Structure 1
Amino acid sequence: MSDIDGLVIREAVPGDLEALIAIFATDDLGGHGDTTDPEAYGDYRAAFNAIAASASDTLYVAELDGTVVGTFQTSYTRTLTGRGGATLTVEAVQTHPDWRGRGIGAKMINAAIEEARVEDCRLVQLMSNRSRTDAHRFYERLGFTPSHLGFKMKLKGS
């Protein structure tokens, strides 16, 4: 029996917000500037509410014995390319540092892939920070192939 046999992946609720912020704040590689500073809570609350209100986005948590141990977000996009097929993008995949290496990330990604299958998506995609070489190996083990070069332009923040 694995120590994550009771893992539940479910849609996030407002009561999860504090745990999610804490997980994101532990991320030193992402460079997103996440923080547990109470002054930033309003920004997180507004983002949570916008995601919850979106028909195309869903925020999930991985919960074990009442503790949030991971999270990810999915977003649907439909384009004319690919004969109008839908794409599921997986974003913000994070496992709490104390729980990494136990298969939680794989269960979260597999849940996203299953969601894409149910919704008849033609593609599941994700991006990963160039510095996350361990994550790249993880995604490749799950069947993802590095295929594109991404570009970003920061408009706000450092």
Structure 2
Amino acid sequence: MTVRATKRSAGLLLFRHTDEGLQVLLGHMGGPLWAKKDAGAWTVPKGEYEGDEPAWEAARREFREELGIAPPDGEALALGEVVQRNGKIVTAWAVAADPDLSGFSPGSFALEWPPRSGRVQEFPELDRVEWVGVDRAREVLVTAQAAFLDRLAEHTG
């Protein structure tokens, strides 16, 4: 019998206060499966890590890999964990920051596309990042990650 390890991801949810209210920085998942989707196709910038790497360090590393820019310094608010529909456990921290996104240069992944074609293509991990209000974030985030918005609201009032 094979025991499959639970996949774990860690990420940073950046937030800022504007005249329009609280905004969070989300990434739209890249690749052909997400290209024409909006609802459920946005995520906290995050990525997988192995059990021996501290989750906080993984979150900062993955932020750099996913966006191509340095993770911001500042007080990190622990947002805890959520379990996504696929069973992946996601841990996140919120950091108040408004980084320059002009250097956005996402990492990539390889995927056989079209399926069973034998042709492997490279796609961006995130095809774009955007600041969005919390209400819009609830509409487009991966469902389980919406809990991070509630936890952020508890911290920021």
Smaller-chain TM-score bracket: under 0.3
Q: Per residue, is there more helix in 1 or in 2?
A: 1
Q: 1 or 2, which has the higher strand percentage?
A: 2
With structure 1 as the length reference, what TM-score do the two structures score? Answer: 0.24
What is the TM-score when the length of structure 2 is the normalising length?
Answer: 0.24
- Whose RCO is larger (CA < 8 A, sep 6+)? 2
